[in-house]
Amino acid sequence: MRITFTQSGGFAGLMKHCRVDTAALEAEERARVESLVVAAGWDASWEKFSEGRDRFQYEIAIQRETTVHVTCDDSCVPPEARPLVTYLKEHAR
């Protein structure tokens, strides 16, 4: 599984990015990331933005058998996907 993550926007407008290839991770970390993806429940691509300014925006691509693209802002991340987004934010530079 490969995950590409970009965070943009916010008050300062900074961009952060990371790529995660689970094949390159240790077994325990790989299992953790894969379980976060499954828990997020993103089986289809979607895009959603709320009204308002200075929100972080996320572009996430999850490549498995097919690729799912999710584009949204902070307030549109479903509760079950927040742990995955938090993990990706922690690894973004």
Q: How many domains does the chain have?
A: 1
pLDDT tens column, 42-57: 999 999 999 877 789 9
Q: What is the pLDDT of residue 37?
A: 98
Domain of residue 13 covers 2-91
pLDDT tens column, 3-30: 999 999 877 778 999 999 999 999 999 9
HSE toward the beta carbon, residue 89, CA cutoff 13 A: 13
Q: What is the pLDDT of residue 9?
A: 84
Whole-number Å distance between alpha carbons of 7 and 17: 6
